[in-house]
Amino acid sequence: MKKITELLGKKILFFDGAMGTMLQNSGLKAGDLPELLNLSRPDLITSVHRQYYDAGCHIATVNTFGANRCKLKDSGCSPEQVITAAINCAKSAREQSENGGDKYIAMDMGPIGRLIEPMGDLSFDEAYDLFAEMAVCGEKAGADLILIETMGATYEVKAAVLAAKENTSLPVFVTCAFDASGKTFTGADCEAVAAMLEGLRVDAYGLNCGLGPDELYPVIQKFSEVSSLPLIFNPNAGLPRQKDGATYFDVDPDSFAGSMRKAAELGLSVMGGCCGTTPAHMSAMIGLCRDIPARAASDKGITMVSSYTHAVRIGEEPLIVGERINPTGKKRFKEALKNDEISYILGEGIAQQEAGAQILDVNVGMPGIDEPAMLVKAVTRLQGVTDLPLQIDTSDTDAMEQALRRYNGKPLINSVSGKEESMRAVFPLVRKYGGAVVGLALDESGIPPTAEGRVAVARRIIETAAAYGISRKDIIIDGLTLTVSAEPDSANVTLETLRRVKEELGVCTTLGVSNISFGLPKREVINAVFYTCALNAGLDCAIINPKSEAMMNAYYSYRALRGFDPACGEYISVYSAAADAPAQKPAASMSLKSAIISGLGEVSASIVRDKLTSGEVSDPMTLITEELIPALNEVGDGFEKGTVFLPQLLMSAEAAKASFEVLKDALAGSGSDEKNGKVILATVKDDIHDIGKNIVKVLLENYRFEVLDLGRDVPAETVLENALKYDIKAVGLSALMTTTVVRMEETIRLLRKEAPGVKIFVGGAVLTEEYAMQIGADAYCRDAMASVRYCQKIFNAES
């Protein structure tokens, strides 16, 4: 028998239909694990496979959908036992079937049933291990391929694909479950799924489950437009209906076959069925579709990068890659990296998204930090707060590999150069994990001084990539921006390179635009003009600061002028909104105190700035003692009395923070910037609800406490370890539910034993004063202000 991948594109291959439906029809009770029937009723499972083989199906999907260690934990059976038995059933059916065609066995891997961090609590590595165990068992027992199916979360798909590819030599097919809007349940659209799976180089992919063939037709059609790999379509037999307590599906075999024939015309490679489909459905479908000639998959040549929700197409319209997550030349950013202040990095990412970036560059390289660990942290945490695709920017290939592995989607990779050593290190990573890669037009001899030379290097990069199996669509050439004040012809060479790369090589382009103006005054002015010239010369991805007004003016204007903005709609909406918006400007009479009480962040900061620059205030401390602190006290008192509500309290806190940021530099060195004391905050183990803890953090920071935020789902040992390491006086713990208050009690017990001097204050929806005392806390804080008051009390008492 030929390897199944050799048949892809030569003829349509047919998967089987539902297993669960057949088992339920044979009396499987709800709540029973169907996989255990492989051991207890092999005759039944074998008979289902045999019916499908006899109906003409080429591939039997074995009964291992949920045969992972997590789901089997209370069954008394191991994945290996269940999987081996499952594959033996399919082997028996293959021998028994009188149908003479090709017959393959697919090891089936369904979702684990838990969401991976940050959406849920399962770690990526745990998910990987669960799938790896299944895949290895499947290959050992004799499967011909691995089918990863009914997936809704792209991160889980990635864990499963890597587990299958790294631990077996079997072909890997993947199908995801979509709804009628063309999204999986975590919000991924077709292009996001296609980009990631093609990047991971699976053998075939598509969709299954969810809905019937008619409802899913638009989704498979969309796939057929963007996909460069063989496509699979395994829909349900329509929609589930209930009658007399039993579930049935509403599309009969003939209707199913008719709908599948229509879908097959799109150029499918593999077809079958999911929930509700039976051997009769498969038989009817095969009868109608078997003579349709298969189409070999062809490279659509679309350059895409993706996040876990959507893909961004490169080369169709100008794109902005936000450049601000990068420590080069930024003192504050370096300080944040040194202090592991991840929230600062997240803030930079979010601000750039709000300013209009479509992709975010992430560079955290700095001497003295563990770059691989920091890059992974930055990438995974950013993916928890932004759905933009990321550009992983590092020259450390270890950091690059670790970040690529943990990235949820298909990233941009920055970068490879024309140096042999660089290509040898980077291309295998691109090949393995997927990604579009920035190719720098330089090599061992340095940066070629002419466009001719840079195009030659670019050509070599593209050719070498091809030898690694990386398509030219995934190469994005950076023609290199050099400083115009140092090299007068440099802008011309860069622009000429852009033009020729587009014309002669036909690949996408990128540039770090603002390098052009190093050493010049008013850099924004020249940056914006150079950016416009570059756009005109064929720049696709501009690595710029989207918070720069001049650059964004150029961007929106260029789009309007060159037909990327129909009827100038975007331009009008951006600039008429800006003209209408009342700018947050201080009224002449407004005091800092009233601006903070009103929660006006920009106004507060601007008042502080004016007072400092005009010399009206000589000692910045007076602003703090006479305006800022009284304002916070007034709002805090109002909150406690119930006249000020939580959102107002926080808006004032944010306004105060904005003022502190301005005052910070003025205070630096004066010794007045000292904090009140260091406090640990944590949401306890097993609890993932952290909004309450985050509110407390904002307020404590406002009252000049230094907060060590340990995050959510924090084990007792981690709290203790940090309390001891930083000699902490106060620990605040939060827990949402009765089930996690138990963890809170355990944490308190451990701290009492190992760090007896620490004061512990607690809060959370189900806690009461009495309950807090019962579990051994020092104080119950019913809200954020109560936490502030408690910390003030204990730190004042100490000082």
Q: How far is the CB of 793 from another protein (least distance, A)?
A: 23
CA 498/CA 477 separation, integer angstroms: 8
Q: How far is the CB of 599 from another protein (least distance, A)?
A: 7
CA 309/CA 787 separation, integer angstroms: 38
- Residue 259 or 309 having the CB closest to another protein: 309
Contact positions vs another protein (CB under 8 A): 29-31, 110-111, 113-115, 118-122, 150, 152-153, 177, 179, 181, 183-187, 209, 242, 245, 247, 309, 343, 346-347, 350-351, 384-387, 599, 642-643, 645-648, 650-651, 653-654, 685-691, 694-695, 698, 713, 736-740, 743, 765-766, 768, 783
- Residue 118 or 258 having the CB closest to another protein: 118
- How many angstroms separate the most distant Cα atoms in the chain? 96
Q: How far is the CB of 242 from another protein (least distance, A)?
A: 6
Closest CA to 211 of 233, 238, 186, 185: 238
- Residue 520 or 773 having the CB closest to another protein: 773
- Residue 558 or 771 having the CB closest to another protein: 771
Q: How far is the CB of 216 from another protein (least distance, A)?
A: 15
- Residue 346 or 505 having the CB closest to another protein: 346
CA 299/CA 384 separation, integer angstroms: 32
- Residue 347 or 428 having the CB closest to another protein: 347
Q: How far is the CB of 255 from another protein (least distance, A)?
A: 23
- Residue 648 or 672 having the CB closest to another protein: 648
Q: How far is the CB of 782 from another protein (least distance, A)?
A: 8
Residue 298, judged by CB atoms within 10 A of its CB (0-12, 13-18, 19+), counts as exposed
Chain position carrying tokens 């926080």: 650
Helices and strands: H and E segment counts in the chain: 31, 25
- Residue 515 or 648 having the CB closest to another protein: 648
- Residue 153 or 286 having the CB closest to another protein: 153
Q: How far is the CB of 157 from another protein (least distance, A)?
A: 13
Q: Are 364 and 328 in contact (CB under 8 A)?
A: no
Q: Are 135 and 95 in contact (CB under 8 A)?
A: no
- Residue 183 or 405 having the CB closest to another protein: 183
To the nearest 10 degrees (0 to 180), the angle between helices 79-96 and 42-54 is: 40
Q: Are 67 and 82 in contact (CB under 8 A)?
A: yes
- Residue 183 or 432 having the CB closest to another protein: 183
Q: How far is the CB of 631 from another protein (least distance, A)?
A: 15
Q: Where are the beta strands (DSSP E) in 252-370?
A: 270-271, 303-306, 311-314, 319-325, 359-362
- Residue 499 or 712 having the CB closest to another protein: 712
- Residue 153 or 196 having the CB closest to another protein: 153
- CA distances for 199 relative to 37, 122, 752, angstroms: 37, 24, 51
Q: How far is the CB of 628 from another protein (least distance, A)?
A: 17
Q: Which residues pair with 763 in a beta bridge?
A: 734
Q: How far is the CB of 468 from another protein (least distance, A)?
A: 34
- Residue 38 or 683 having the CB closest to another protein: 683
- Contacts by residues 50-53 (CB-CB < 8 Å, ≥ 24 positions apart): 50/92, 50/93, 50/96, 50/97, 51/22, 51/279, 52/16, 52/17, 52/279, 52/282, 53/16, 53/93, 53/94, 53/97, 53/99, 53/103
The DSSP symbol for 624 reads I
DSSP H/E element including 459: helix 451-467
Euclidean distance between the first and final Cα of the chain, in Å?
82
Q: Which residues pair with 572 in a beta bridge?
A: none
What is the torsional sign of CA 252, 254, 255, 257? positive
- Residue 529 or 688 having the CB closest to another protein: 688
Please give the backbone phi and psi of residue 241, each rounded to the nearest 5 degrees, phi first: -125, 155
Q: Where are the beta strands (DSSP E) in 340-386?
A: 359-362
Q: How far is the CB of 648 from another protein (least distance, A)?
A: 6
Q: How far is the CB of 699 from another protein (least distance, A)?
A: 9
Instruction: Please give the full DSSP string across 321-347, using - where no structure is assigned.
Output: EEEEE--TT-HHHHHHHHTT-HHHHHH
Closest CA to 304 of 138, 193, 164, 458: 193
- Residue 351 or 366 having the CB closest to another protein: 351
Chain position carrying tokens 């089997």: 72
Residues sharing a CB contact under 8 Å with residue 266, sequence separation 6 or more, in sequence order: 220, 221, 224, 231
- Residue 307 or 527 having the CB closest to another protein: 307
Q: How far is the CB of 272 from another protein (least distance, A)?
A: 17
Q: Is 173 helix (H, G, I), strand (E, B) or coil?
A: strand
Which runs of consecutive H residues, i.e. helices, occur in 55-201?
79-96, 124-141, 154-167, 190-199
CA 506/CA 508 separation, integer angstroms: 7
Q: How far is the CB of 666 from another protein (least distance, A)?
A: 24
Instruction: Please give the full DSSP string across 224-252, using - where no structure is assigned.
Output: HHH--S-EEEE--SS-EEEETTEEEES--
Query: In terms of DSSP bridges, do strands 677-683 and 541-544 run parallel, antiparallel, or are they unpaired?
Result: unpaired
CA dihedral 656, 661, 665, 670 (to 10 degrees): 40
- Residue 140 or 749 having the CB closest to another protein: 749
Q: How far is the CB of 185 from another protein (least distance, A)?
A: 3
Q: How far is the CB of 795 from another protein (least distance, A)?
A: 23
Q: How far is the CB of 401 from another protein (least distance, A)?
A: 26
CA 319/CA 555 separation, integer angstroms: 9
Q: How far is the CB of 274 from another protein (least distance, A)?
A: 11
